[in-house]
Amino acid sequence: MTRSRRDAKGACSRLLALSLPVVALLAAATLSACSDETDSAPPDPRPVRTATVEKREGGKPLVLTGRIEAADEAALGFRIPGRMIERTVRVGDRVQAGQVVARLEPQNEMNALRSAQANLATARARLTEARNRYERQETLLAQGWTTRAQFDEAEKARTTAEAQIDAAEAQLKFAHDQVSFTELAADAPGIVTATGAEPHEVVQAGQMIVRLAREAGRDGVFDVPANILRSVPADVEIEVRLTDDPAVKATGRVRTVSPQADPVTRTFEVKVGLTDPPEAMRLGATVNGQVDLDALTTIEIPASALTKINRQPAVWIVDPAELTVSLRNIEVARFDPATVMVSEGLDVGDVIVTAGVQALHPGQKVRILGAEP
């Protein structure tokens, strides 16, 4: 009886030892199946808010800050080098056409003038002598009292003396010009906007002594980003107002656009020719230029839709059929804290994400909470 019990207990022990690995395998398989089911479950679509892109007529006025400059500005300088002894004007002075604004020391030029005058006097005396000799030889030749060779020599001397007169007169004119070049005069009425060298300094020919803003007209000058340039129509009328006194205003149209962007600011200098600007619009004054964009067809989106890709502005586009999102670069014409005006990159009917843009990735499924027209 005892032996039977021992045999039965041994059989149970062996059965238990065999069943434990089986149970472990079954448990592992069950856990693996549960894990596979968990991993294969798709993530919940991310809830987002969207808006549908629409074009609308008109938009907010475009306002840029700039300055008043002379439409015609010239740098005045001497034609000859020398030591400047006087500058009669300062920045802000108003000058008239022909007014002397600076002088060079004229001693060397006056000496050259006196020398040229003496040379001309000598040449005239030689010419008188040569003519008298020629006339005498001409008379003697007719009477047979001189030779042909002597007559030819007298004629040659007269011709040489006449040529020397021409050279001396040209030298005298040059000397007069050099003396006149020691005075620098304004070629037109205007206002002095800058000065160069100071009195008693040695200056070079062409060096700027006075910068003169001619009174021919005034420009409103603005530094404009490229995307805004593209959004403004050609030949549009621009209203320019003083920043500190908006009641002072003038209108004008774009006169010139710089062909090259500033290497630092990446903006283009635009000059607006003003029509009858008021006297209060002084050179250097700060102004605001406003462009009425009511005639333009624009695309505006909420500023919350804006994000970046490769450091460029972009938005998330929703595929209405698949309810997935993708990034698209856009060109921003202008923006403010609430809205963004888009010049390129969006079409009418595009659905964009306006809330929840930070946590999205390309191809992600979304659930639209609402749509704004």
Q: How far apart are CA 330 and CA 3, in angstroms?
A: 91
Looking at residue 245, what is its pLDDT? 92
Looking at residue 151, what is its pLDDT? 92
CB 300 within 8 A of CB 55: no
In a 3-state reduction of DSSP, which class is residue 9?
helix
For 47-57+297-372, CATH gives 2.40.420.20
DSSP 319-345: ETTTTEEEEEE-EEEEE-SSEEEEEES
47-57+297-372 and 62-71+217-291 in the same fold: no
In a 3-state reduction of DSSP, which class is residue 224?
strand
Looking at residue 271, what is its pLDDT? 93
Query: Closest Cα partner for 284 from 196, 188, 218?
Result: 218
Q: Can you give the residue ranges of every domain in the chain?
A: 47-57+297-372, 62-71+217-291, 106-181
Please tell me the CATH superfamily of domain 106-181, with its number.
Helix hairpin bin (1.10.287.470)
CB 210 within 8 A of CB 195: yes
Looking at residue 202, what is its pLDDT? 95
Average pLDDT of each block of 10 consecutive residues along the chain (373 residues)? 48 45 46 48 76 70 87 91 95 92 95 96 95 93 90 93 95 95 92 91 95 86 81 79 93 90 88 90 90 64 83 86 86 74 80 82 81 45
Please tell me the CATH superfamily of domain 62-71+217-291, with its number.
Efflux pump adaptor protein, beta barrel domain (2.40.30.170)
Looking at residue 252, what is its pLDDT? 92
Looking at residue 188, what is its pLDDT? 87
Query: Closest Cα partner for 180 from 114, 246, 116, 100?
Result: 100
CB 196 within 8 A of CB 208: yes
Q: How far apart are CA 106 and CA 183, in angstroms?
A: 9
